[in-house]
């Protein structure tokens, strides 16, 4: 499962409601500028992908394109959309979208010894406000046993 939130009824949410599917494209350092530019308040009729000159590839399982430049992409079928509420039960303009991952695409250059090289991929994630982080300090922890 893969989930993300939407503050307000943005185009992504409307498109997912219409198609029942979505693709989560992982942004690496090479896509940071386009990722940020895609968050501008474009009109619903305007494709951010076209405006930013991004190349796409068709989904293998879902009828939604994925970004050709993305280090990794997750094709998902919609499981649920939840409008969130505050602690008193009042509806918020925030939504949680949950999808079942039905196909994963990872660029070959990020595969090493049959595993994803997370440090090389250097995925970028939003922290909040205007802040983002790139994954660079990777470490493993073995699961405890009882």
CATH numeric code, 2-134:
2.30.110.10
What was the pLDDT predicted at 136?
86
What was the pLDDT predicted at 44?
87
- Taking the alpha carbons of 45, 63, 25, 77 in that order, is the dihedral positive or negative? positive
What was the pLDDT predicted at 143?
95
The DSSP annotation for 4-24 comes to EEEESS-HHHHHHHHHSEEEE
| Residue 106 parent element (H or E) | strand 91-106
Q: Tell me the per-residue pLDDT of 3-25, one tens digit each, with 9 for 90 and over.
A: 999 999 989 999 999 999 999 99
Q: Tell me the per-residue pLDDT of 77-136, one tens digit each, with 9 for 90 and over.
A: 999 999 999 999 999 999 999 999 999 999 999 999 999 999 999 999 999 889 999 998
Structure tokens at 67: 């970004």
Contact 99, 78 (CB under 8 A): yes
Q: Tell me the per-residue pLDDT of 38-66, one tens digit each, with 9 for 90 and over.
A: 989 899 889 999 999 999 999 999 999 99
Contact 121, 26 (CB under 8 A): yes
Interacting residues of 35 by C-beta distance below 8 A, sequence separation 6+: 27, 124
Domain range annotation of the chain: 2-134
What was the pLDDT predicted at 116?
93
């Amino acid at each position: 499962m893969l989930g993300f939130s939407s503050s307000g009824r943005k185009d992504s949410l409307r498109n997912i409601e219409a198609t029942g599917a979505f693709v989560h494209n992982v942004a690496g350092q090479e896509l940071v500028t386009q990722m940020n530019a895609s968050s501008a308040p474009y009109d619903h009729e305007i494709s951010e992908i076209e405006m930013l000159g991004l190349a796409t590839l068709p989904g293998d399982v879902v009828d939604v394109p994925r970004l050709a430049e993305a280090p990794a992409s997750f094709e998902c079928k919609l499981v649920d959309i939840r409008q969130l509420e505050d602690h008193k039960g009042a509806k918020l303009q925030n939504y949680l979208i949950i999808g079942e991952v039905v196909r994963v695409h990872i660029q070959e250059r990020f595969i090493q010894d049959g595993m994803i090289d997370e440090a090389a991929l250097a995925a970028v994630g939003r922290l909040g406000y205007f802040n983002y982080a790139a994954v660079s300090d990777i470490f493993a922890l073995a699961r405890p046993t009882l």
